[in-house]
Amino acid sequence: MCDAPKPADLLAWYDRHARDLPWRVSPSDRAAGVVPDPYVVWLSEIMLQQTTVAAVRDYFTRFMALWPTVEALAAAEDDRVMGEWAGLGYYARARNLLKCARTVTQLGGFPRTRAGLEDLPGIGPYTSAAIAAIAYDLPETVVDGNVERVMARVFQIETPLPDAKPRMKECAASLTPEMRPGDYAQAVMDLGATICTPKSPACGICPWNANCKARRAGVQATLPARKPKTPKPTRYGIAYLARRADGAWLVERRPERGLLGGMLGWPGAEWGDTAVEDAPLQANWTDPGVEVRHTFTHFHLRLSLRVAKVPDTTRAQSGSFQTIRPSDLPTVMRKAFDVAKAALPD
Ligand code: SF4
């Protein structure tokens, strides 16, 4: 059986210390009857997947200014949304964001149950639980990395991740209250983000310190345990950056499916165990001597570059010459662009 810290203790702490987040209805406003907008909750949760609060703030504010409702987002041009998303990474999320906005608009609003939410594009068990709890105050259990860490410590779960996940979820579910489940879900996440942090948890000021098994045993800093990581492989590639005399650059829109799907990119062969030469057109290509390095979820990339100035009359066999705003490019392509601009002065 799981020891039981009290949700009420955590909620009392949350009432005083909730993080001030642009997408959040504060506990005092919630108590006064302000109801969270499911669009806001959904947008922030999709943006926050695999990304930090600090990285998301500006993107969220900009998206809300451009598209304040789900209907406005549904009506947006795909390229514009992909461009505004550039830099946030995990681009499948941006494509699903649009699909989901359009489905929700057709439905006439967000479904009001977790099961209904989970049927939407790009919404998995975590996001459906988060929206159901935060937007609709349903007693759904929300489990992200912060919550897993808190559960591992409070219940002293020594099994390493990912095997420990079912047990962590069970413990989290055992604590989810019927009263204020939305605030509670956010409270556990805040506890993990601000007090029960990965390296040095501030147990002295933690509202659950009297009930925390790991603290009692003095092992909190070692939990959650993890299996040793297998090292990521490295892939190699060559990107070709051609600039016409009028300032336009040769770019390609990457296929919808796959890594960086739907985003703008530089021509070149697929990345693999070795770098393959595959110039998109005849030009006086030179190597700027600077390699771009980038780490994706499943591999490291080492990208060599070839740069060339080409005449205004140059035609692209595939892709197109365009004026480039760096903010339209995903991070790895922007790194290559920075090198090419320096290597090809006007
Ligand atoms: S007492 Fe310490 S380890 Fe336990 S939940 Fe609180 S901050 Fe985390």
Q: Judge if the beta carbon of residue 201 lies within 6 A of ligand 1.
A: yes
What is the number of other CB atoms lying within 10 angstroms of the CB of residue 309?
A: 15
Euclidean distance between CA atoms 73 and 122, whole angstroms: 15
The best mutation among 9, 13, 194, 196 to test binding of ligand 1, ranked by most ligand atoms within 8 Å of the C-beta, falls on: 196
Q: What is the pLDDT of residue 256?
A: 83
Euclidean distance between CA atoms 100 and 95, whole angstroms: 9
249-253 and 320-322 strand pairing:
antiparallel
**Cβ atoms of residues 64 and 40 within 8 Å:** yes
| Beta-bridge partner residues of 234 | 300
Residue bearing the CA closest to ligand 1, atom 2: 203
Burial class (CB within 10 angstroms; exposed 0-12, middle 13-18, buried 19+) of 34: exposed
Q: Per-residue b/e over 173-191, b at no fewer than 16 CB within 10 Å?
A: eebbeeebbbbbbbbbbbb
Q: Judge if the beta carbon of residue 212 lies within 6 A of ligand 1.
A: yes
Query: Which two tokens mark 261?
Result: 């799907």
Q: Judge if the beta carbon of residue 146 lies within 6 A of ligand 1.
A: no
Euclidean distance between CA atoms 238 and 272, whole angstroms: 10
Atom of ligand 1 nearest to the CA of 220: 3
C-alpha torsion angle, residues 101, 102, 108, 110 (rounded to 10): -30
Q: Which DSSP string do the residues of 1-69 spell out, in sequence order? A: ------HHHHHHHHHHH----TTPPPHHHHHTTPPPPHHHHHHHHHHHTTS-HHHHHHHHHHHHHH--S
C-alpha torsion angle, residues 219, 175, 18, 87 (rounded to 10): 80
For the chain, 346 residues long, give each residue's pLDDT as a single digit of tens: 445 899 999 999 999 999 999 999 999 999 999 999 999 999 999 999 878 899 999 999 999 999 999 999 999 999 999 999 988 887 888 899 999 999 999 999 999 999 999 999 999 999 999 999 999 999 999 999 999 999 999 999 999 999 999 999 999 999 999 999 999 999 999 999 999 999 999 999 999 999 999 999 999 999 999 988 888 999 999 999 999 999 999 999 998 888 998 899 999 999 999 999 999 999 999 999 999 999 998 999 999 999 999 999 988 888 999 999 998 899 999 999 999 999 997 7
The DSSP symbol for 163 reads: T
One-letter amino acid for residue 271 of the chain: W
Euclidean distance between CA atoms 67 and 61, whole angstroms: 10
**Cβ atoms of residues 223 and 149 within 8 Å:** yes
Give the CA radius of gyration of the chain: 24
Is residue 178 flagged as an active site residue?
A: no
Residue bearing the CA closest to ligand 1, atom 4: 212
Q: Judge if the beta carbon of residue 220 lies within 6 A of ligand 1.
A: yes
What is the number of other CB atoms lying within 10 angstroms of the CB of residue 133?
A: 24
| Choice among 45, 84, 140, 148 that is catalytic | 45
> From ligand 1's centre to the CA of 38, what distance in Å?
31
- Nearest alpha-carbon partner for 48 in 121, 126, 157: 126
Atom of ligand 1 nearest to the CA of 209: 1
One-letter amino acid for residue 294 of the chain: H
- Nearest alpha-carbon partner for 93 in 64, 61, 62, 56: 56
Euclidean distance between CA atoms 196 and 79, whole angstroms: 40
Model-wide pTM > 0.75:
no
**Cβ atoms of residues 246 and 312 within 8 Å:** yes
Query: Which two tokens mark 70?
Result: 């789900």
Atom of ligand 1 nearest to the CA of 5: 5
